[in-house]
Amino acid sequence: MNLNIFVHWFKHVVMDYMFITYCFCDRYNTGLVCPHGWMEYDNSCYLFSKEEEQWTHAAILCSALGSKLVEIETKDENNFLTTFIDLYNEIYWIGLSDVQKEDDWMWMDSKETLTNLGYSNWFNQQPDNVNGNENCGRIAPNTSGAWNDFHCTATHRYICETPSGPYGKLPSG
């Protein structure tokens, strides 16, 4: 078997296993259910997009789904997301920006600043605002979930977040 075919096959097997573990086992144990295709973790549901968009378009699409670009509030949440970012091997937009005030990074939906929240995970020497035009946050694979700033007009996949809730429950036995 060709190595690329094996890696592709293996990723799908692992992704299917992780999807079942996070979506179905957690739903059954907690009674909380996420919309179809979303992953549940710690009272939130996450959707990892398969398409690439500019940061602003990604935020609009998440809003249209009744959610927001992900706001990462804890190391545990960042670690959860990083597992899938590394697995999918894609760069993802997060809901972090300093577009309103340079160097004042905030989660754009809640308007919480990183200073007030107390958690951040910037990559070394980030944010660096190269060419004065990097105002949106993203996470790349294989960086231990470290964030960096990038120009908002680039296209990347994105992660939407919404509270988990009573979207329906698995039938009880």
In tens, the pLDDT along 151-171 reads 999 999 999 999 998 754 433
- Residue 172 within any structural domain of the chain: no
pLDDT of residue 132 exceeding 80, the answer is yes
Residue 170 within any structural domain of the chain: no
CA dihedral 25, 26, 28, 31 (to 10 degrees): -170
What is the number of structural domains in the chain? 1
Six-digit token string for 95: 């809901």
- Specify if 57 maps to a domain: yes
* Residue 64 domain flag: yes
What is the pLDDT confidence band of residue 3, given thresholds at 50, 70 and 90?
low
pLDDT of res. 117: 87
pLDDT category, 28, cuts 50, 70, 90?
A: very low
- Assess if residue 148 is contained within a domain: yes
Question: Is the model's pLDDT at 11 over the cut of 50?
Answer: no
Question: Residue 171: inside a domain, yes or no?
Answer: no
* Residue from 62, 124, 144 nearest 95 by CA: 62
> Domain range for residue 41?
3-163
Residue 148 CA: distances (Å) to CA of 57, 127, 130: 19, 6, 11
Give me the pLDDT at residue 101, please: 93
Q: What is the pLDDT of residues 90-110, one digit of tens each?
A: 999 999 999 999 999 999 999
What CATH number has the domain bearing residue 155? 3.10.100.10
